[in-house]
Amino acid sequence: MLEASGILQEQDIAIAAPYGQQLDDLIADCHQYLPSVDEAMIRRAFKLSYWAHRNDRRASGELYISHPIAVARIVAQEIRLDDTSVGAALLHDVVEDTDLTIEILRAEFGEQMALLIDGLTKIRGIYANRALGQAENVRKLILSMAQDVRVIFVKFADRLHNMKTIESLPPAKRLKIATETLRLFAPLAHRFGLQRIKSELEDLSLKVLEPEEYAGIVSGLKGSRQQREAHISSFIQPLSKNLREQGLEFEIKGRSKNLYSIFQKMRAQNKPLQEIYDVFAIRIILNTAGGKGKEECWRVYSIVTDLYKPLPERFRDFISVPKSNGYQSLHTTVLDSDGRRIEVQIRTQEMHEIAERGVAAHWKYKEGVDAMDAKMDQFLTWVRDLMENPDAEQATEFVQEFSLDLYTDEIYVFTPRGDLKALPKDATPVDFAFQIHTDVGFHCIGAKVNGKMVPLSHKLRSGDQVEIITSKKITANPGWIKFVVTHKARSRIRHRINEERREAVRYGRQLWEKKAKRARISLSEDELIRLASQFNYSTSAQMFYEISSGLLDVQDLIQYLRTGDSPNSDEEVPLSPEPPVSFLEHAQDHGAEALLINGERIRGLATVYASCCNPIPGDSVFGYISRAGTINIHRTGCRNAAHLLVNHPDRIQSCTWSRQKDVRFVVGLRVIGEDRVGILHDLTTVISRNLKTNIRSITVKTEDGLFEGTIILHVSDLKHLKRLIERVKRVDNIRGVYRFEE
């Protein structure tokens, strides 16, 4: 195992001169743009990254270290959050691509850095091989997984540098990465208010995806971005002079639209570049007082149109008639002295703040979204203010307090084929199975999450890959209702349970009719209802159900009809409508000697250990006096317990376990794992030889590489059972061991 401290203590790590200079430039950027700089930490991060990637090269042939240091410089220059983000940028690929581990990074740089690198490593695999048509869900997944917002910022910088150096990649890979960037990363950067990064990502993607159109737009604009901005500056100068002469307080911001935005307008309007009006734009923001904002906006409009010729068809008054999101501004397009079209926006500072509110209103209007999460709105405002006014204390507060929990009510998980599924928070593999298809849900017997067997009640997390293991047998476990969270799963399970109950009632009626016919007894429906009432059943269907379940013997009914002996009460009625399939006809045959009934040991009392829950010493139990006069012992967590405790409190007896030697109780274990040669032998060896436990029976089956077994054995108490379960869990390939209730 590598140790970071040993690596960094080496003094003979020779750093090539160009990269040493790049490190110095990075440090200079940090001092210029960041609120505070831990220079020693950044140098250590660079040194470790340089060493870890010492044998790696990029597709261009240059040393791999050129990529992380370029990403770090983008983080320092564009994001400007803190030095920890810069360190994470230097180390963002080491866990995925080298022998270094998160534990090494944690030991060397602390918990915060380790969490950032871990988040970057996980997010790196989210979008790989995913359907681009699910870009919106992937965006949500990235957000939901990033506990620290800096993870996403570093990811933007990583993608931006990859796009800047994309020419070194094969054509097919360039197309894939550019498409992914345009559909996923650029919109996400826009959502975070990173307009410059968003525009650059779009332009670089356009260059790959539409090279001819890209070249045509560049040529048509006659020059570089800097030249275009110089042209805007020449437009602003005489306008500023006129506004000052009118005594107005104002700020003018010039902007030129990015190439992709121009391309979109050309395509949407089906027009050449020459007919796209708002290639250049300026924004005039007025500082007004006394409620004269609207009046002064119109004064500025008059000055602009006196100086430059307006295009009347391009005029928009959003002050008198604001947009639905509250946006207010005057828009006009004018011709400058060279005949070029320039869009002019005129607004007050108050209007500007509304329009720029965390970029939220602009985002809603441009992207056509009806509603914006309030926390994202707050977040965007915070990011913008932080980037415009960097402050060390504010930056620390930001990264410590802001949790990116924008989608905490949803999780996003993958099928084995990589398809993305959205589920509610706390969803389980059973919810996932029913989301795939109802049949998958009913045939579900197990699940693997990220390649490991988990209980079906396991709560899934964003980014999990879930594989459902099915069998040919249709199941509808009533216990699933306790943990499933989706409406589909709940409704399908309840429907199946009701169907099975109706089938059980039909079967119970058949048993009654068969035995009643032999006894030459014939009852009408009304007589059956009265008979059920005598046994404290509200309906005859309930009586038939308990006959089917084995909780009521038809012979008891026949005996009552022949002799008229009044029944004491009904047997316990399970809350679950599923017919129990007991692996014991009668459980332990040790009578009451292992129990204290109401604090006393009562010998000779007929005691039955309920097969619905199979209690053993150590379990919390209670006694229920049955119609036959026996005491049925149930675990307090038994599925019948609530019904008995509520409806028959007069028949409940307090029970505790007495100390008995050489007394054994029957329990069942359900074992799930991955099949292999010798797994059954290892199980029986551990149970019988190592733990000296007697196995009563064992049933196993294998299907699609899955091993599943039911083991009936004898234990002395709950402590014995727990020790047994823990030992069986350590058998190779065993993924789950559960107490089998029935």
> Which residues belong to the active site?
96-97
Residue 475, number of CB atoms within 10 A of its CB: 16
From the number of C-beta atoms within 10 Å of its C-beta (0-12, 13-18, 19+), residue 32 rates as exposed
Q: In what order do the strands lie in the sheet with 706-715?
A: 695-703, 706-715, 665-674, 734-740
Kindly give the residue spans of alpha helices, DSSP state H, lying in 519-622. Answer: 525-534, 540-549, 554-563
Backbone angles phi, psi at 532, to 5 degrees: -60, -40
Backbone angles phi, psi at 648, to 5 degrees: -135, 55
CB 299 within 8 A of CB 330: no
> Quick one: residue 599, left, alpha or beta (phi over 0 = left, psi -120 to 50 = alpha)?
left
The answer to whether 371 and 198 have CB atoms below 8 angstroms apart is no
Name which of 524, 502, 523, 741 is nearest 641 in CA terms. 741
Cα separation, 466 vs 477, in Å, equals 20
Residue 702: which of 728, 724, 680, 732 has the closest Cα?
A: 680
486-501 exposure pattern, b = at least 16 Cβ within 10 A, e = fewer: beebeebbeebbeebb
Residue 26 in contact with residue 32, Cβ under 8 Å? no
What's the gap between Cα 468 and its chain centre? 18
Q: What is the CA radius of gyration of the chain?
A: 37
- Nearest 5°: phi and psi at 115? -65, -40
* Whole-angstrom distance, CA of residue 88 vs CA of residue 46: 10
Question: Over 137-191, what HEC string results?
Answer: HHHHHHHHHCCCCHHHHHHHHHHHHHHHCHHHCCHHHHHHHHHHHHHHHHHHHHH
Tell me how far apart the alpha carbons of residues 535 and 529 are, in angstroms, rounded to a whole number: 10
Buried b (16+ CB within 10 A) or exposed e, 142-181: bbbbbebbbbbbbbbbbbbbbbebbeebeeeebeebbebb
Angle at 101 (CA atoms; ends 97, 102), nearest 5 degrees: 115
Q: How far apart are CA 739 and CA 742, in angstroms?
A: 9
